[in-house]
């Protein structure tokens, strides 16, 4: 699978779609999820062109990986969910229902969540 330059997050990174920047540095951008599933729901994406967590882990440089993870931790602090707790979700591929093919981490918090997965249908 090749990276699709027209995915929504690629457009946000290029400034072609509006968003409210919560945090940005050389490695990552954080912005609110357009359809929040919790009082705190923020997406953190790497600046590089990676499709999924698998792709990022396999192809990103150690500097990009460290930079991204540091940004993730920093954003969790900015969002003030460290003490109350939060969840990081990275969907990858069809079974996870990943919708946007640019690697992203959801940071969710501000309410009590179910344990890991919703029950099966």
The residues binding ligand AMP (CB under 6 A) are 8, 17, 19, 31, 33-35, 43, 91, 97-100
Q: Is 104 a catalytic residue?
A: yes
Q: State the catalytic residue, choosing from 74, 104, 106, 115.
A: 104
* Smallest separation (angstroms) from ligand AMP to the CB of 43: 6
Alpha-carbon distance of 113 to 109, in angstroms, equals 8
The least distance separating ligand AMP from the CB of residue 10, rounded to whole angstroms, comes to: 11
Query: Which of residues 13 and 60 has its CB atom nearest to ligand AMP in the complex?
Result: 13
d(CA 34, CA 43): 9
Q: How far is 109 from 41, CA to CA, in rounded Å? A: 7
Name the strand (E) or helix (H) holding 13: helix 8-13
């Amino acid at each position: 699978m090749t990276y699709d330059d027209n995915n929504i997050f690629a457009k946000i990174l290029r400034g072609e779609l509006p968003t409210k920047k919560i945090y940005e540095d050389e490695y990552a951008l954080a912005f609110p999820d357009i359809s929040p599933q919790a009082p705190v729901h923020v997406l953190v994406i790497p600046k590089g062109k990676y499709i999924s967590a698998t792709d990022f882990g396999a192809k990103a440089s150690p500097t990009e990986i460290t930079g991204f993870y540091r940004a993730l931790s920093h954003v969790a602090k900015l969002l003030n969910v460290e003490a109350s707790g939060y969840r990081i979700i990275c969907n990858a591929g069809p079974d996870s229902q990943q919708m946007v093919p640019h690697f992203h981490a959801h940071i969710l918090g501000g309410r009590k969540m179910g344990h890991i997965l919703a029950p099966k249908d």
